Structure 1
Amino acid sequence: MDSSPYSTTSEIFAVGGEDYLKEGHTPTTLPERQDEILKLRRSLKPAARGAGAENTFLSGKAGQGKTAAAKAELAELEAFADAQDLDLTTVFFSCEGISSSYTLACGLCEELGGENPNGHPMQKVLDHLWDAMNDIGGTIIIVLDEIDNLGTDDKILYSLPRARDKDYVNDDVYPSIIGISNDLQWRDNLDPAAKDSLYDDSIFFAPYDANELRDILSRRASKAFRNTSLVYETSEGEAFEINIDLDDDDGSLAKAFNEIDADRTDCTLLRINSGVLSDDVIPLCAAYAAQDKGSARQAIKYLRKAAAIAESEGDVRVEEEHVRTAQGEAERELIIEGMEQLTTQGHLALAAVTILELGGHSGIRTRDVYDVYTSLSDYIDADRLAQRRMRDHLIELDMLSIIRARKSASGSVGGEAYTFELRVEPSTAIEVLEAVSRFDSVDFDELVKNWLNEQQTLR
């Protein structure tokens, strides 16, 4: 059975190790975010005294530890509240797929009271929410992850922080909100009244640099891979090695520091010792991610894919070339995801460039793209934009690394001239477009033939 390609034996991953490289894993400690965690702790501190926490906004790009920091600090607060017999309730609610205050209010009613009042008028729904909070009592902290999905529908974001002042809830109820967003400008677009009432504190999570990402990857790798350990140095210059107990994730690292009588905050991670990772693997994963988004999630993805590629090729050691292959695959996946999430107008612009390129066109001009774009728009019965607006979508595709836009030395009066070309394989673009329901009736092979015939006729 060991000869099976699905054998459970791995020369690279430790048993259960892959879990530490998956997006769902939440670390219990975040040394690189201690400043941000201390600020969040100040906001939560009133809750430790039986009052309401401050309303707080956590912002920063994806993969910067915002959600993990909120979960870790709330876990600390909950443990303290249990020990002190404080009346504390925390709710972690993802706003993914939530686009209105109404839907959010219904979801919170279900979380807090067990009943979803969907179908009732908004005011009735809010009354259900206040009743659920009154039944619970005490301090109630609601974490709204990806809060920017609400857009500018801020009714509930205005009402919740003012629930006590407006006597919507009883005097012994202290509701507060922690909002988490990847959109740095979202809060600025809120109604001023909602913005002022919603956030007492704002904490920005800056992108990780390469050194921080290296340390994050090293800690994950020490749990994920065989024969891998961490080497720390104390403030007195004493170096010591730590092997992580995979069966005791929640406390093994802290226990190791206690055993050598070292304060973790006074120690520096020197390096990682690994029998399965070459020395340049983690620095290269960290450098790739730091140059792009500074995202820990992205860096971890590179490391996980590199190890999986090495294993699939029968190698017992992850090398630099595996990381480079992983980075290329991850970038391709990201571009495909970007193509899939385009609007109809974005798909039309992409389809027009793709048809022209498949027809042998190079250095494609805006007006040529627009000619094909208008025909496609009519064919699928979509709104037709003016040429300048269609070109804006082409520029957006360039920003997403789907096409390449080159600005010419001169353009028409009042505008700039561009030429366009695909950055992805035409077959990849066609594969994505054919999966879009709006393009179900489109035969791209036929459209390319028609375009070629038209060009021959013009000649």
Structure 2
Amino acid sequence: MADGDDQQSLSQSIKGRLQQGVQNSVFRDKGLLDPDAVIDEDRIVGRDEQLDDIITYLRPALQGNRPPNMLLYGPSGTGKSLIINAVCQQVLELANSQDNQFGVIKINCQTIKSHDRAVYRLVENAAIEAGVEVGVPESGISTDQKLKRFYEILSTEFDSVIIILDEVDLLVGRQRDPSDDPAYSKLLYQLSRASQLGRIEGHVSVAALTNDPRFMEELDGRAESSFNPQDVVFPDYDANQLQAILERRRDAYQDDVLEDGIIPLSAAFAAQDHGDARKAIDLFRKAGEIADRGGEDFVREEHVRGAQEEAERDRTLTQMQGLSSQKKLSLYATAIVPIHAERNLKAVPSTVAYRVYTYIADLLDADEKSRDSYLRYMSEAETYNFVTSEKRGRGYGSGVHKEYTFVDDPSVVADTLADDIRLDELDYDESLIKSVVNAQVDDFFEGN
């Protein structure tokens, strides 16, 4: 019986802790801080023109006519998915009240690797929307057979359909030759021609969403002609618009738990990153999660800053997956220079960073690459947007040298890399590293 009593006691303890976490949370309705949530019209900010355009383009679906194809383009987090989903939801509700079978078929192309897989996802989502069987296997039959089933579902189950292809530019497919057309070109041609060719009885229109303003240039002539979309442009949000967006989601939190400055700070961080509303909402949510983890009753600016550091660390980790160990070592050596330098360095001279790199390489018993190799590695770090660089005049012991400026906080980069290259497993004396950095910095400036 003792084991049973212990098990029951453990179960009650877990349940109590779960309930306590829910009851004591700073959140009231956390779902409002899901960037992909379909939200009410009164929560939409700074997109009146785009909202009006899409309403105008989709209104024919309620009048028994075919809406035009649309191309929604603009940077990530500028409201493309938000607006098209919000309007489609309202069209769906109005159409259903009129016994008009309107369907919204959505796929996100980011993780779809081929034209065949995209077609299957369309069949799958159409079947879910219509409440019918998929009717075809994922593999073992041709793409044309899957496409035929897709057209069959649309014809028998819907009067009018809009197909939303989010991040459509990422559906490139397996291009065996540089001259091969991307998969999205073929898919757009097939979908936009289906009604004209009599393969679908109802009305079908396509809304393609992309971050690439030159997307239409990549389509082949047939696809461009048949798709022929109405363009809807989504510019960056400014800091004031981002603040307004967060203010309209304030009720995701309990009353009086947000300290002053939380919303402006979240908006300011996101405004630095190309006016990305997704980032603003993510920071706003993560700050509350950090407060909850700490068992705190209020969300403070320190939680927003902690959320920003977590976001930078996550982004850094993702980007680092593509770097070799030598490139990580070069980046780490460069990042610790401004951290440990007693001088206020706005940029890191490559001469200094390379000498620190050789010291760290020796400490790790790693191969010590040449200065030219180090510079190549740092050039690649630029392509990953870790650093920017400028050429400067004569440096100590060399001619023209480069100076590197970190895009994010160098301490975040260094901390993440230190874990990755396992520096903590070595006899790593931080005070000694600091003295090495400052010796090289002093030598550099005394020689200029």
The alpha-carbon distance between structure 1 residues 197 and 396, as it changes in their structure 2 partners (threshold 3 A), is: farther
Tell me how far apart the structure 1 counterparts of residues 205 and 335 of structure 2 sit (CA, whole Å): 56
269, 273, 280: which is aligned to 1:299? 280
Answering whether residue 66 of structure 2 is matched by residue 52 of structure 1, we say: yes
The root-mean-square deviation of aligned C-alpha atoms, in Å, is 3.9
8 A contact 1:365–1:420 mirrored in 2 = no
The alpha-carbon distance between structure 1 residues 365 and 68, as it changes in their structure 2 partners (threshold 3 A), is: same
8 A contact 2:331–2:378 mirrored in 1 = no
Tell me how far apart the structure 2 counterparts of residues 160 and 282 of structure 1 sit (CA, whole Å): 43
Answering whether residue 136 of structure 2 is matched by residue 136 of structure 1, we say: no
Tell me how far apart the structure 2 counterparts of residues 69 and 36 of structure 1 sit (CA, whole Å): 8
Tell me how far apart the structure 2 counterparts of residues 400 and 161 of structure 1 sit (CA, whole Å): 36
Q: What does residue 20 of structure 2 align with?
A: 7
319, 322, 327: which is aligned to 1:350? 327
256, 270, 285: which is aligned to 2:266? 285
Counterpart amino acid of residue 140 in structure 2: G
Q: What does residue 68 of structure 1 align with?
A: 82
How many percent of aligned residue pairs carry the same amino acid? 27
How far 1:307 sits from its partner (Å)?
2.9
Counterpart amino acid of residue 33 in structure 2: L
1:236-315 equivalence runs, <5 A: 275-313=256-294, 315=296
Tell me how far apart the structure 2 counterparts of residues 177 and 216 of structure 1 sit (CA, whole Å): 28
Tell me how far apart the structure 2 counterparts of residues 206 and 148 of structure 1 sit (CA, whole Å): 18
The alpha-carbon distance between structure 1 residues 393 and 118, as it changes in their structure 2 partners (threshold 3 A), is: farther
Tell me how far apart the structure 2 counterparts of residues 82 and 185 of structure 1 sit (CA, whole Å): 37
Tell me how far apart the structure 1 counterparts of residues 30 and 392 of structure 2 sit (CA, whole Å): 48
Tell me how far apart the structure 2 counterparts of residues 9 and 106 of structure 1 sit (CA, whole Å): 39
1:141-290 equivalence runs, <5 A: 141-151=162-172, 152-153=182-183, 154-167=185-198, 169-170=199-200, 172-221=201-250, 223-227=251-255, 275-290=256-271
SS at match of 2:264: helix
The alpha-carbon distance between structure 1 residues 96 and 416, as it changes in their structure 2 partners (threshold 3 A), is: farther
Counterpart amino acid of residue 316 in structure 2: I
Tell me how far apart the structure 1 counterparts of residues 275 and 149 of structure 2 sit (CA, whole Å): 42
The alpha-carbon distance between structure 1 residues 5 and 41, as it changes in their structure 2 partners (threshold 3 A), is: closer
The alpha-carbon distance between structure 1 residues 419 and 216, as it changes in their structure 2 partners (threshold 3 A), is: closer
Superposed CA deviations along residues 299-349 of structure 1, whole A, max 9, x for unmatched, are 122222323334444543333333233323322222222223x3xxx4466
The alpha-carbon distance between structure 1 residues 92 and 358, as it changes in their structure 2 partners (threshold 3 A), is: closer
Superposed CA deviations along residues 119-167 of structure 1, whole A, max 9, x for unmatched, are 3334344333333333335222111112122132221111110112233
Higher helix share: 2
Unaligned runs of 5+ in 2: 1-12, 128-133, 173-181, 338-347, 359-371, 427-448
The alpha-carbon distance between structure 1 residues 93 and 368, as it changes in their structure 2 partners (threshold 3 A), is: same
Counterpart amino acid of residue 429 in structure 1: L
Q: What does residue 28 of structure 1 align with?
A: 40
SS at match of 1:52: coil
The alpha-carbon distance between structure 1 residues 417 and 75, as it changes in their structure 2 partners (threshold 3 A), is: same
Superposed CA deviations along residues 241-276 of structure 1, whole A, max 9, x for unmatched, are xxxxxxxxxxxxxxxxxxxxxxxxxxxxxxxxxx22
Tell me how far apart the structure 2 counterparts of residues 41 and 392 of structure 1 sit (CA, whole Å): 50
8 A contact 2:26–2:298 mirrored in 1 = no
Q: How many residues align?
A: 364
Q: What does residue 392 of structure 2 align with?
A: 408
Counterpart amino acid of residue 407 in structure 1: K
The alpha-carbon distance between structure 1 residues 417 and 65, as it changes in their structure 2 partners (threshold 3 A), is: same
How far 1:6 sits from its partner (Å)?
7.8
8 A contact 2:159–2:202 mirrored in 1 = yes
Tell me how far apart the structure 1 counterparts of residues 218 and 23 of structure 2 sit (CA, whole Å): 50
